[in-house]
Amino acid sequence: MGKLLIVGTVAFDAIETPFGKTDKILGGAATFIGLAASQFDVDAAIVSVVGEDFPKEYLDLLEKRNIDISALEVVKGGKTFFWKGKYHNDLNSRDTLVTELNVLADFNPIVPDGFKDSDVVMLGNLHPNIQMGVINQMEKRPKLIILDTMNFWMDHTLPELTEVIKKIDVLTINDEEARQLTGEYSLVKAAQKIFEMGPDYVVIKKGEHGALLFHEEQVFFAPALPLEDVFDPTGAGDTFAGGFSGYLAASEDVTFENLKKAVIHGSNLASFSVEKFGTERMLDLERDEINIRLHQFKALTQFEIELQ
């Protein structure tokens, strides 16, 4: 059982999809990452910040899953980060209606002493300076540092983002962001350029079209499981990151062969996350359901072929 340090937002989300809408519910990258990672035998901690308005029951939910929240700062009198968004009919695009940074604006992450020797560090989507601040607090070099980011940081803080990308092992971004970051349309070429920036591994997330893992000259592809209904894509990418990093921390094996398995575990958990609003599906998810769907992933992609 390895140690996993998770850094990211813990937040309120309000979501509208073609199938319904929610009031403020539990959200945030670190929340989704933590819930997914807790499916594995891992010693996980979340570094994040919330306001005094954050319900104790949400904190309890995380603790009940053995996630260390001693470094989840609760700011007295502060308000929790809030995001409100509305998905378009195809669920592939969305409009952000409200972003209130609140306590996130002054977030200064403190890595707990017991996690300064973490095996895997999962840096959720945040300002690159915060991500760098966490790396700098580590007492020994983690086996694997994984960083998730998005186009917003490429638009506004590219020099800072470039600095932190130099320090990491795995970059996870979506296809459009990979193209924006590198100026290459071909994802194969984009991955090669990202290798030159620092990371040894690149995961390119393509949403309903699956995810690609690049390493040196090798490529591995995990499809998204074809689903009858996708209800709410919020948190799917973070759930992927949680399954990916949680599996790697639990297995303490950061070879390419094992990263392939981690991509499958991440895709598998993400396929559940989209079935209900927010974290709802991840909270009632059973081990048996996970295993059945892993079998479906195998059936979906495995074949025997003889050469001509």
Least Å distance, CB 307 to its own copies, is 5
- The angle that helices 256-273 and 29-37 make with each other, rounded to 10 degrees, is 110
Asked whether position 299 contacts its own copies by CB under 8 A, the answer is: yes
Let me know: does 27 contact 11? Beta carbons within 8 Å. yes
Each residue 31-70 as x (binds its own copies by CB under 8 A) or -, in order, gives --------xx------------------------------
Each residue 213-252 as x (binds its own copies by CB under 8 A) or -, in order, gives -----xxxx-x--xxxxx----------------------
Nearer to its own copies, 107 or 272 (CB): 272
- Tell me the C-alpha distance between 268 and 273, whole Å: 9
Asked whether position 19 contacts its own copies by CB under 8 A, the answer is: no
Q: Cα 168 vs. chain centroid, distance in angstroms?
A: 15
- Tell me the C-alpha distance between 216 and 200, whole Å: 7
Residues 11, 104, 264, 274: which binds its own copies (CB under 8 A)? 264
Torsion sign, CA atoms 153, 116, 256, 233: negative
Let me know: does 24 contact 14? Beta carbons within 8 Å. yes
Candidates 23-31, 66-74, 108-116, 186-194: pick the segment binding its own copies (CB under 8 A): 186-194
Nearest to 131 by CA among 180, 99, 172, 77: 172
Residues forming the site for its own copies (CB under 8 A): 39-40, 89-90, 185-189, 206, 209-210, 212, 218-221, 223, 226-230, 260-261, 264-265, 287, 290-291, 294, 297-305, 307-308
